[in-house]
Amino acid sequence: MQIISSKDNEQIKAIKKLKEKKYRDETNEYIVEGIKLVKEAIEEKVNIKMIVICEDCEEESLKNASKPNTNQIEQGLLYEIAKYECIYVTKKIFNILSEVQTPQGILAVVEKGDSIENINYSEDIILALDGIQDPGNLGTILRTADSANLKQIILSENSADPYNPKVVRSTMGAIFRMNIIKTENLAKTLQMIKKHKFEIVATSLDTEKSIYSINYNKKVIVIGNEANGVSKEIQDLSDEKVKIPMLGKTESLNASVAASILIYEYVREKLM
């Protein structure tokens, strides 16, 4: 078994480039790191191009990261990993590739799966994000959407990159179960969706209509930018504007919090 120890190795240089959005877009690939995320990527049958294992910390990390039944979990995971192309690297090289302070010694290069042609119009609601720029907010929204069994999300061109390592980590595996659709023109995409009998609902402070007064069926829920909200172009395109009623002095909520409230109002309505 060859262990790569040079940062000038072509495979290592190619993986390192995936830290940058430019190269993630060019190759249609991104990095997932850590035992849990790699395990979920395998379970969700994501297209894994390569798995990188830190030889120096393999035993320490893979054996100690699991809970009870450690050996059983470890052996099962290692058995699955062996089905993929794997490369082994020194701890020094792995640290060059890693984005975390205390890496677990395993990461995978996987293929992105977003496509605007794959919008599923049979869903009850579709979530659209207009200029969400904070990676933490985006990751939280993806995770919350997954918890409500939403399968797709539309991102405007000026939204954060969903394949940013911080976003990927904060989704806790939800990213593997979502069809993430990045559109260059959100307004045009929403107009296309409206032709399939969906209504556009934009969050706005400039309305008296509550999120509790609408029916969440065949709706596109648009969550806006952290500072400026939903853009005027999208507001003008919307069929309805709604806001979250607030009894205190706070005028607005964090974008991920607002998205969570709307998503779970949909859940509440669906369970009634």
Summarised one tens digit per residue, pLDDT across range 87-144 is 999 999 999 999 888 888 999 999 987 665 678 999 999 999 999 999 999 999 999 9
Q: Is the pLDDT of residue 69 over 50?
A: no
- Regarding whether 121 and 251 lie in a shared domain, the answer is yes
Domain boundary (93, 111, 129) is at: 111
Mean local confidence (pLDDT), 53-66? 61
| CA distance linking residue 189 with residue 11, whole number of Å | 37
Domain of 61? Answer: 3-111
Residue 41's CATH number: 3.30.1330.30
- Regarding whether 11 and 82 lie in a shared domain, the answer is yes
Domain boundary (83, 111, 139) is at: 111
- Regarding whether 57 and 138 lie in a shared domain, the answer is no
As a whole-number percent, the residues of the chain with pLDDT over 70 amount to 91
pLDDT confidence of residue 11: 95
- Regarding whether 189 and 75 lie in a shared domain, the answer is no
Are 201 and 219 within 8 A, CB to CB?
yes
Residue 25: CA atoms inside 13 Å, Cβ hemisphere, count?
A: 7
- Regarding whether 155 and 58 lie in a shared domain, the answer is no
- Regarding whether 103 and 12 lie in a shared domain, the answer is yes
Residue 228's CATH number: 3.40.1280.10
- Regarding whether 252 and 145 lie in a shared domain, the answer is yes
- Regarding whether 141 and 77 lie in a shared domain, the answer is no
Mean local confidence (pLDDT), 149-159? 94
pLDDT confidence of residue 70: 35
- Regarding whether 35 and 123 lie in a shared domain, the answer is no
As a whole-number percent, the residues of the chain with pLDDT over 90 amount to 73
Mean local confidence (pLDDT), 177-197? 94
Beginning with the edge strand found earlier in the chain, give each strand of the sheet holding 3-4 in spatial order.
3-4, 86-89, 48-54, 106-111, 29-33
- Bridge partners of 180, per DSSP, are 153
Question: Which helix (H) or strand (E) element contains residue 18?
Answer: none
Tally the domains of the chain. 2
- Regarding whether 61 and 170 lie in a shared domain, the answer is no
Length of the chain in residues, anyone? 272
Domain boundary (111, 139, 154) is at: 111
- Regarding whether 147 and 229 lie in a shared domain, the answer is yes
- Regarding whether 80 and 142 lie in a shared domain, the answer is no
Q: What share of the chain is helix, strand, coil (3-state, %, to 5)?
A: 40, 20, 40
Structure tokens at 246: 């607030």
